[in-house]
Structure 1
Amino acid sequence: MSTSASSKVWAIPELVNLIVWRCPGSMTAKLAQVNKAISEIALASLYRVILGNMHDLLAILAPMEAHSDESGLTFVRPLEQSDWTRFLKYSAHVKEIFLMEILPQRQAISPEAFCVMDATRPTDAIFPFLTSFTTFEPLASSNHFYRLIYQKRLTKLSVCWETPFRVLQNVRIIAATLRLLNIKGSPKAFDSLTRQEFLALIPELKTIAVLELASILVTSDIFEMLSSKEHLQILSMILTPADAVRNPIDEYRYHFTEEKFPSLRGLTLEDPSDGPHPNFSTLTAITRLQSLKVALSGKVTLESFRRCSSALSAGFPCLHSITITVTKFQDNTEFMDSSETFSVFQPLLSLTELRHFRIEVPSHISLTDEHIEQMARAWPHLLDFHLGCKTPFEGDETELTLSCLVSFAEHCPSLQCLCIGVDATAVPHRPLTDKTVFSESLIILELSGSSVGETIAVASYIADLLHGGDCLVHHAKSSDESWRYRIHKWNEVATLVDNIREARSRGVRRAFNLVAPEGR
């Protein structure tokens, strides 16, 4: 390329951006140093996202060292105005910060370093274009640090909170501009001061669209305040540790009316009680909610589970996605009667728009092929179906056979992922026809927990159901001794399924090659 042609390339911003963003970091750094024409674009690429820790960025101000193993990194000399002039040239390009690395104290940045920065900083914003800040480790209640990071353009904040750190108080200075707030961590107690801080913070979250936080932070009065947030689209209450010190269960009730949560599309909540169904109430059906995840972390009975699913399906009839996770059954034997177990899921059949169905239970539940047939017919738009258990099935613990797969093949043409446990030792009662086959949308068939029958028979049945495209027949990995033999057998089945499908494809190609010359 001639010099003039090269100059023209570097003069086109769109091309320069494309080149720079595809370069590895080391090459981009060299471009920033040697090519003045694109230096700013290269710097913008290099410093747009700060990933891991902030040491390399802060070292632009001045060299940093640790005075002892316990001190953490601090500046080796006083900061001058010229240091800040140099630093601001780079920090102006920072838009996202992700602090992920767990470093030894000697390699971590000391609180004193942030104190020095705050004391010597210019009046201008340090990170004027920062829009997203994420940390995966608890931050101390350091106003010096927050004054450096919290800027008016910040719209996404993800912080880790543990007592006694006063994180919520510091969030208030930027609450009005936040669109996403994620308060991570596994707090085991909810003290009165934290509640007061949260109650003071909620009114200031004027534009919040996504809120994720530990469920222990959300009591009935806080839930009521959140329900008035007109822009809130996703509310996620993350599972609380089992040994957490909870307030009375009466403080965790979720009441819905048509005027509450006017923009809510996705909801994740936890109910720690043994009888969760009284804690969900809807005066009228809420049709705008599309995604619902519920964690039942108490000791759940079959009757309370049934009433809970009935309340959820009646209250949110237009769901596209539902996930229910049960931590513990009060009596495992209740779920060994397939008719009784199906009564838990029967109310959910009214969710005709369902795309995603996921149930996680702590022990085996029994269903029949006919029950799966009803589910598949009720949910023709299914994209994924997951009925999971953490322990392997024995042959007498479920009435499901490989025949239940036929129902999904016949009634769910868009199905992409299917996870279900069956008794593969039983002979399938539904014979396959040439038209009985999954559509090409299916990419994962997972039979985790299933018992294994005769390898060739099982593999042949599955292979005949699969389409000619790529589909992974998968069985979950586990180090548990009880899974070892079963995993080995299912690996044999998966390998044989692949061999059968490959032989079938090869046979079709050969047959086509034989008849093709006659048609010419």
Structure 2
Amino acid sequence: MHNALQIPEILENILENLNRKLLSVVSRTCLVFRDPALDLLWKNHATLGDLIRCMPSDAWKEVLTSTPDTVTSVLTFARPLVSSDWPRFQLYASRIKCLEVRPSLYRSGRGFEIEAKVLLDLSIHRPCSILFPHLQELLWTTWAVTPKFQLDTFHFIDIFLGPNLRKLNISYGGASETEAKHFLSSLRRKAPKLLSLNISNFSKAPVSLNMSALARFTELQTLIVPITAPEDVVFISSLPRLHVLDLTLSLSVSREANFRRDLEVNRSRRTSTHPASVVRSLTVREVGLDTFAAIMRTWDHHALEAIFVSSLRPSKAAAFQEFVHALTTHCSPSSLTSIRLIDYGVVAVSRARMAEEFTITPMIFSPILSFTKIRHYEVSSPFSFAFDNAFVRQLAMAWPEITHLDLARDDGRSALSQVTLEGLTVFPLHCPSLALLGIVLHQASKVVSTPIICNDTPILLDFGQAPIQDPADVARFISGLYTYVTKFCHLSRFTDYTYAIHGDTRSRAGLLHGWTKVADLYSDFAKVRAEDQRRE
């Protein structure tokens, strides 16, 4: 055998390029290959069912159930486990770095289920307290309590925790408030090296968790968690190495106002030794922009790179202004690259109310332009951006690195926008990497001259429900800006009645016809532009 094959790094690099079937074959070829191949075979793709099937064949059984659509195998133990059942289980369990534990999965056209009682048997008969000594990542799903199996399985997660666990993801935990608090209180002792914790689906309903216990995880880098109380944010803000923070709040509008007030009180009680934030990605779900701003102010200063806010209710312009103020006073303009503000609620807004409460003017928006590293800016809400060509030019000049600009994800109405086709010429020149441009046009009217810029970056365009006069003229103009438009996204709006503004009499059918013609004609114009570019 070549001496190079006795070097572990070389052997591992070779084996990493083999699929699972070949790894299984290689592991049985010779002793030199056996351990490295088995390590890779079990490292990241193991399930609990795979391990149980490694036990003696008389220790477990599978019961097949059939429906017209699928065949399901239900795995359970056939008898009480004894010490001689465990050697092969432990041999492979010690190699596992990533393990998924769930009641069922679908693989190769067949369903596989594990009976809940299996967890009870493993807990009772296991030969040692730590079955998975090298496990680094655990993905856990709690078994549902059914009339057949009245067994609460959440606490059996302890079987899989260990001293080397780095990442824990709990889906559909089903834990009660008492169970959740006890689990968090004991987690530091059971998984002391934890770096990433996702408990966003810890319980069926929002419960008050013991966030003070999480404050002891000083090495924690990623935290995805539901919160119910302002003090939870304060405890979390004390984590000195937290890079990714994802919070979910489920509060009514009135409770959200109380949450903001109490958060300010808790923030004022902070000690002077409170660490500066190192959070790079901050996500807050199911809240308004004003509540997000209050959470952001918990830290004195941010070096944030990405912000994501989602809400089930629309935020008004005043809340957006508060968000902008918190952003400019608590966040470094040299670090932030992504802002996404998403509203998942369905809301009907009258024109009068839109103009009064949901209009974003250049004066409100312009402070964000100081964040010159922005690459992704997306707003999906009832906001209407009252911009004109001059301000759009300022925006493009301020964000030369932007790849995704979406200001047209509301209902796309053009009533307040003053942006015209001519205003778009700044983007292919000053934002050469732009891959999505969403901006509501006041009107796609006849243009005086057609630009010859011909940026060939693939791009998606969304112009809202802009009126259109001459489709051929518009198609010709756009082809002078971009020669590779992959999709006109706003076409789908003309058949979408999700958002409705009362009193609207505009013919969506006419808009659909006009912009569909633009899309058809654009292809021909773009081909000519591209051919001219090649000749030059």
- TM-score of the aligned structures, taking structure 2 as reference length: 0.76
The residue number in structure 2 matching 1:518 is none
Shift of 1:101: 7.6
Given candidates 236, 249, 255, the residue that maps to 1:226 is 236
Shift of 1:168: 4.9
Shift of 1:91: 1.5
The residue number in structure 2 matching 1:350 is 370
CA distance in 1, matches of 2:490, 2:474: 18
The residue number in structure 2 matching 1:310 is 325
Once the two structures are overlaid, the 10-residue window that deviates more, 148-157 or 357-366, is 357-366
Residues 382/71 of structure 1: CA separation in 2 closer, same or farther (3 Å cut): closer
CA distance in 2, matches of 1:54, 1:41: 21
Contact 2:392–2:423, Cα closer than 8 Å, also in 1: yes
Contact 1:306–1:343, Cα closer than 8 Å, also in 2: no
The residue number in structure 1 matching 2:426 is 407
Residues 275/96 of structure 1: CA separation in 2 closer, same or farther (3 Å cut): closer
Residues 404/81 of structure 1: CA separation in 2 closer, same or farther (3 Å cut): farther
Tell me whether 1:33 sits opposite 2:44 in the alignment.
Answer: no
Paired residues for 1:154-165 under 5 Å: 154-160=165-171, 161-164=173-176
Contact 1:114–1:144, Cα closer than 8 Å, also in 2: no
CA distance in 2, matches of 1:274, 1:508: 46
Paired residues for 1:27-176 under 5 Å: 27-50=22-45, 53-61=47-55, 62-66=59-63, 73-99=75-101, 102=104, 107-123=112-128, 125-135=130-140, 142=153, 145-160=156-171, 161-164=173-176, 166-171=179-184, 172=187, 173-176=189-192
The residue number in structure 2 matching 1:202 is 214
CA distance in 1, matches of 2:441, 2:104: 43
Contact 2:301–2:330, Cα closer than 8 Å, also in 1: yes
Shift of 1:316: 1.7
Tell me whether 1:238 sits opposite 2:243 in the alignment.
Answer: no
Paired residues for 1:110-509 under 5 Å: 110-123=115-128, 125-135=130-140, 142=153, 145-160=156-171, 161-164=173-176, 166-171=179-184, 172=187, 173-185=189-201, 189-191=205-207, 194-195=208-209, 197-199=210-212, 201-214=213-226, 217-238=227-248, 240=250, 248-250=258-260, 253=263, 255=267, 259-270=274-285, 272=287, 276=291, 279=294, 282=297, 286-318=301-333, 319-326=336-343, 333=351, 334-336=353-355, 341-362=361-382, 364-391=384-411, 393-394=412-413, 396=415, 398-422=417-441, 425-428=444-447, 431-434=449-452, 436-438=453-455, 442-447=457-462, 449-451=464-466, 453=468, 454-466=470-482, 472-475=486-489, 481-482=495-496, 493-494=518-519, 496-507=521-532, 509=534
CA distance in 2, matches of 1:503, 1:276: 51
Q: Could you list the runs of 5+ residues in structure 1 that have no partner in the other structure?
A: 513-520
CA distance in 1, matches of 2:303, 2:255: 34
Once the two structures are overlaid, the 10-residue window that deviates more, 341-350 or 204-213, is 341-350
CA distance in 2, matches of 1:389, 1:74: 50
Q: What SS does structure 1 have at the residue aligned with 2:32?
A: helix
Residues 82/273 of structure 1: CA separation in 2 closer, same or farther (3 Å cut): same
Residues 423/152 of structure 1: CA separation in 2 closer, same or farther (3 Å cut): same
Residues 83/444 of structure 1: CA separation in 2 closer, same or farther (3 Å cut): farther
Contact 1:131–1:155, Cα closer than 8 Å, also in 2: yes
Shift of 1:85: 0.8
CA distance in 1, matches of 2:141, 2:481: 44
Q: What SS does structure 1 have at the residue aligned with 2:366?
A: helix
Tell me whether 1:24 sits opposite 2:19 in the alignment.
Answer: yes
Q: Deviations over 1:417-451 (max 9, x none)?
A: 4333435633357x4444x454x6x4432316444
CA distance in 2, matches of 1:64, 1:479: 54
Q: What SS does structure 2 have at the residue aligned with 1:422?
A: coil
What is the count of residue pairs matched by the alignment?
491
CA distance in 2, matches of 1:116, 1:235: 37
AA aligned opposite 1:418 = L
Shift of 1:183: 1.1
Q: What SS does structure 1 have at the residue aligned with 2:246?
A: strand
Q: Deviations over 1:103-153 (max 9, x none)?
A: 59x943223212212222222632121101123567786476323210110
CA distance in 2, matches of 1:273, 1:406: 34
- TM-score of the aligned structures, taking structure 1 as reference length: 0.78
Q: What SS does structure 2 have at the residue aligned with 1:462?
A: helix
CA distance in 1, matches of 2:247, 2:123: 35
Q: CA RMSD in A?
A: 4.2
AA aligned opposite 1:387 = L
Q: What SS does structure 1 have at the residue aligned with 2:215?
A: helix
Shift of 1:274: 9.0
Residues 184/67 of structure 1: CA separation in 2 closer, same or farther (3 Å cut): same
Once the two structures are overlaid, the 10-residue window that deviates more, 347-356 or 281-290, is 281-290
Residues 423/299 of structure 1: CA separation in 2 closer, same or farther (3 Å cut): closer
Once the two structures are overlaid, the 10-residue window that deviates more, 146-155 or 70-79, is 70-79
CA distance in 2, matches of 1:306, 1:45: 52
